Amino acid sequence: MNRRHFLNSMALLPAMIRPGLPSLLHSLGEIAPQLPPGGRIQPSVFKMTLNGMELSIDEQNGSLLGLSYSPVGRLLQAAPETASMLDLGYPTEQFVAMRLASRFSGARLAKETNGVTVIWDRLNSSRNNLPLPKGRVRSEVKIYAAPDGRSIVMSCRIENQSTAPIAQVLFPDLSGLRPFDDKDRMQLRFALGVVSPFAQPVRPPDRAPFYAVSMWKEYAPEAGYHLNALRWIDYGSLRGGLSMFQRCWGTEPRPSILTRRNESDPDDLRLAWGHREEIAPGTTWESGEFWLTPHQSGWAKGIEVYHDYVREVNPARELPTIVKEGVGFQTIWMIQPTEPDPAKAAFKFKDLPRVARDAREHGIHELVLWNWATYGDLMPQIRHELGTLDELLDGIRRARELGVTVVPFSNLIELNDRYASRYGVKPGSASSWVYHPEMIPGLYPLSRASGQFQVPTDNAAWLRDVFDGFKEWIDQGITSFCWDEFEDQGNSALVKMIGEMRSLARTKDPQSIFAGEPYLGSLERDNAVLDHTWNWLDYVDASPILNVLRSPRFNCNVESSARVVKMAFCDGLYINAIPKKPNLPNDTALISEQPELSASLKEVAALRKQFLPYFVEGTFIGDSVLSEPVARFVPNPEYSTDWVGGGITELGTFRFPPIFVRGHKLNSRLLIIVLNNSENAQEVTFKTDFALWLPRKETYQVKSYDSRGTLLQTTRSEGSQWVGQTRMMQFLELVLFEIQAESQQ
């Protein structure tokens, strides 16, 4: 037996024997010399290439040592002592932080032509001098080439044959991700935002944060206000990268994403999918399939596999025409929820046609009404400070005649305490949010007993009552609705009821709209009934959502900013115009009363109409249309917390790039939109490779248009490597390029 085989066999010994190994090895002298720092000799490495990606696995413990993709280079390189594959939380009475992990264990590799299975007959612990519960935890990870010819698939099975529960699973656990581009350009792109993991020091200079909340960053799986809104992530830059997703659409629970940088090696990033699921003694857990797709170019190349998967399991549904084709909607705050004086109303029911006419002049064909009713009742009671029911119904009818749909905003999950016994819920369990512009300060959260409770949205009796309430409104002529805090409790009960309600509403109005605030729910289910979102969000980079989901259209709130209007247009976000009067709440003004907002909406509404097929039939590829950055990238902070809509969000503040470029692909055509986001006039030069997105041809026709949609010139590109050049662009000026392979005309 040689030294390496001897050490491999020692790694398989039970934990109770391992504490005596150092003295045993010492006594063996030349047979097993003292181990180097880290406790191991240089590992024996198993290498294989699957669909173009080379994997390196430690044959002793089964941890992943390396990932490489030749068009990009090294993606992952882990030191033997920190490499990982699988890591479990296994709290014991003696040590609550006990881990069972591949790096502590001995493994067997079952090698096949198309993959490998890593088997741990016993996962060993992070403390070999403490007793463990009886039994063992067995696991295996399968890695094989995906049938798409470009991805690899990883799946994990854990058998808890011990007497203690497993509290957490980290899988896949990728330790040793490395920057392969400038550190400022390296990104972790989530469904709802981007962070730059290597742009900042590991520890913030001049600060001393508590270690327990600063070592790891956890991105929770929540729909409306958190980065991790879909179970997909991309690691990379415009050079290329690695996209990863879990092939478990619509299931629960959804994993978190956890990251940690190595303080001893700041270029070492650990990224793991965290599953907080208890695996009870005697039970088995399976991860489902994780697909890893290496790619050239930006994130939009890597997401193509996930895009196709989503379209397979979640076919796109037809949206109401207004939502599908429109540039956005307008919200009006009719009166404060705590205001009893009719004279203080910003708008009354009789004003709806006037507001609708103003909105239509700006390309807006949907009005969402806030505070049109008192909330807390199953059947919302109209605010009589605003007029009569007949005036409301007449206003909705006259707005519809103008081509504008009125969508009342309601809260049906926070109900008055008198309903509590009906649903078996404790009264007074809902938060009390009290606000008014005359209060100092303007918001008193939890300032008094709320007098309301929050009902679980899978409560069967409540679901029946809500459906009956909707039916009453539908029978009276109100067929479109917006829902506050759309939370589905981890199942499809609410979605099913809303689907039935929508079918009923469509018998009265086939173009009826249903919108909502996906708060803590899942876009994987919510998209089945939500036409668009109503979230308290400024501009946010929702590029992956826009790429894979046709519904709901993700909203972007704009008070007056032409910059945000134009960025939202470039992406295809659904603009929520919320103009306000000075010193008054949001949504208290007409769009025409905000000149900057008015002019920019008219501009982009006309452009969207002119280039509509790209937005409604094409695929959004965002900044991936670029071959390299057009300006120095200003990285986003990796983590930020702010108050948004009465809750905590991790989205933080988007940093506006000086040049904003977005791409939309439609079959054999490409639309590239350039926005001068800098206050300085400038000509913009950018590079793209048509062959990544269009049929490979010898020549391509390129048309350029100005902000009014006027054709500026038609040129031709010889070959796919193209350098685009704009004329001198003023602040917030748009230039659009339409590209088509010559033979496709």
DSSP 506-551: HHH-TT--EEEEE-SS-HHHHTTT-SEE--S--S---HHHHHH--S
CA-to-CA dists, residue 261 to 72, 200, 203, 624, angstroms: 22, 11, 9, 26
pLDDT of residue 653: 60
Question: Which pLDDT band, with edges at 50, 70 and 90, does 674 fall under?
Answer: very high
215/93 same-domain check = yes
Average pLDDT over all residues of the chain: 90
Question: Which pLDDT band, with edges at 50, 70 and 90, does 742 fall under?
Answer: confident
Q: Which domain-ending residue is among 611, 643, 658?
A: 611
Percent of the chain past pLDDT 70, that is, above it, reads 90
pLDDT digits (tens, 9 = 90+) for 520-537: 789 999 999 999 999 999
Region at 161 (left for phi over 0; alpha for psi -120 to 50; beta for the rest)? alpha
pLDDT of residue 268: 97
637/735 same-domain check = yes
Instruction: Give domain status of residue 201, yes or no.
Output: yes
Question: Which pLDDT band, with edges at 50, 70 and 90, does 332 fall under?
Answer: very high
pLDDT digits (tens, 9 = 90+) for 406-455: 999 999 999 999 999 999 999 988 877 788 999 888 887 655 677 899 99
304/334 same-domain check = no
* Crossing angle between the packed helical segments 562-571 and 595-610, to the nearest 10 degrees: 20
CA angle 37, 42, 47 (to 5 degrees): 145
How many angstroms separate the CA atoms of 731 and 143, rounded?
A: 51
DSSP 607-633: HHHHTHHHHHTSEEEEGGG-SS-SS--
626/566 same-domain check = no
Does position 39 have pLDDT exceeding 80, yes or no? no
How many angstroms separate the CA atoms of 277 and 460, rounded?
A: 26
635/493 same-domain check = no
- At 607, phi and psi to the nearest 5? -70, -40
Structure token digits, residue 325: 């084709």
Residue from 117, 120, 96, 114 nearest 15 by CA:
120
What is the average pLDDT across 572-577? 98
Percent of the chain past pLDDT 90, that is, above it, reads 81
175 C-beta neighbours (distance < 10 Å), count:
25
pLDDT of residue 490: 86
How many angstroms separate the CA atoms of 57 and 115, rounded?
A: 12
pLDDT digits (tens, 9 = 90+) for 455-468: 999 999 999 999 99
Residue 546 near residue 540, CB atoms below 8 Å: no
Instruction: Give domain status of residue 441, yes or no.
Output: no
How many angstroms separate the CA atoms of 349 and 392, rounded?
A: 5
pLDDT of residue 631: 75
pLDDT of residue 395: 98
Instruction: Give domain status of residue 15, yes or no.
Output: yes
Q: Which residues pair with 53 in a beta bridge?
A: 50, 69
CATH number, domain of 225, equals: 2.70.98.10
The residues, any chain, with a CB within 8 Å of residue 592's CB and separated by 6 or more, are 358, 361, 362, 598
Report the Cα–Cα distance between both ends of the chain, in Å, rounded: 71
Question: Which pLDDT band, with edges at 50, 70 and 90, does 640 fall under?
Answer: very low
* Identity of residue 181: D
Residue 166 near residue 137, CB atoms below 8 Å: yes
Residue from 338, 644, 382, 328 nearest 515 by CA:
328
pLDDT digits (tens, 9 = 90+) for 723-733: 999 999 999 99
Instruction: Give domain status of residue 418, yes or no.
Output: no
Instruction: Give domain status of residue 320, yes or no.
Output: no
Does position 16 have pLDDT exceeding 50, yes or no? no
587/665 same-domain check = no
Instruction: Give domain status of residue 425, yes or no.
Output: no
Q: Which domain-ending residue is among 254, 282, 313?
A: 313
Q: Three-state SS for 389?
A: helix
What is the average pLDDT across 195-217? 90
How many angstroms separate the CA atoms of 143 and 55, rounded?
A: 10
* Crossing angle between the packed helical segments 460-476 and 493-508, to the nearest 10 degrees: 10
- Of 274 and 40, more confident: 274
Instruction: Give domain status of residue 697, yes or no.
Output: yes
66/192 same-domain check = yes
What is the average pLDDT across 537-555? 96
Residue 272 near residue 87, CB atoms below 8 Å: yes
Residue 529 near residue 314, CB atoms below 8 Å: no
How many angstroms separate the CA atoms of 328 and 367, rounded?
A: 10
33/62 same-domain check = no
Structure token digits, residue 345: 């109303």
What is the average pLDDT across 656-675? 96
Instruction: Give domain status of residue 426, yes or no.
Output: no
50/37 same-domain check = no
Helix-strand-coil split of the chain, %, nearest 5: 25, 35, 45
Question: Looking up tokens 């003004």, which residue turns up?
Answer: 589
Residue from 723, 726, 718 nearest 697 by CA:
718
pLDDT of residue 488: 86
The residues, any chain, with a CB within 8 Å of residue 251's CB and separated by 6 or more, are 288
How many angstroms separate the CA atoms of 471 and 744, rounded?
A: 51
197/271 same-domain check = yes
How many angstroms separate the CA atoms of 108 and 727, rounded?
A: 62
Question: Which pLDDT band, with edges at 50, 70 and 90, does 129 fall under?
Answer: very high
Question: Which pLDDT band, with edges at 50, 70 and 90, does 22 fall under?
Answer: very low
Does position 634 have pLDDT exceeding 70, yes or no? no
296/383 same-domain check = no
pLDDT of residue 445: 63
CA-to-CA dists, residue 596 to 266, 592, 600, 677, angstroms: 45, 9, 6, 15
CA-to-CA dists, residue 294 to 170, 273, 317, 527, angstroms: 21, 18, 30, 28
3/109 same-domain check = no
What is the average pLDDT across 277-288? 97
How many angstroms separate the CA atoms of 632 and 658, rounded?
A: 9
- Of 572 and 653, more confident: 572
CATH number, domain of 570, equals: 3.20.20.80
How many angstroms separate the CA atoms of 224 and 586, rounded?
A: 20
Q: Which residues pair with 293 in a beta bridge?
A: 243
Structure token digits, residue 272: 């793991």
Q: How many domains does the chain have?
A: 4
Element (H, E) at 713: strand 711-718
What is the average pLDDT across 43-72? 97
Residue 167 near residue 274, CB atoms below 8 Å: no
In what order do the strands lie in the sheet containing 514-518?
Answer: 532-533, 514-518, 481-486, 405-410, 366-370, 328-333, 574-577, 555-558
Q: Which domain-ending residue is among 287, 313, 339?
A: 313
What is the average pLDDT across 139-167? 98
pLDDT of residue 27: 31
- Of 332 and 631, more confident: 332
Residue from 200, 225, 227 nearest 214 by CA:
200
> What's the half-sphere exposure (Cβ side, CA atoms, 13 Å) at 701?
11
Structure token digits, residue 85: 């594959």
pLDDT digits (tens, 9 = 90+) for 237-279: 999 999 999 999 999 999 999 999 999 999 999 999 999 989 9
DSSP 574-616: EEEE----TTS-TT-S-GGGSHHHHHHHHHHHHHHHHTHHHHH
pLDDT digits (tens, 9 = 90+) for 338-393: 999 999 999 999 999 999 999 999 999 999 999 999 989 888 889 999 999 999 99
Element (H, E) at 309: helix 304-313
CATH number, domain of 642, equals: 2.60.40.1180
Q: Which residue range(s) make up the domain with 199?
A: 43-313
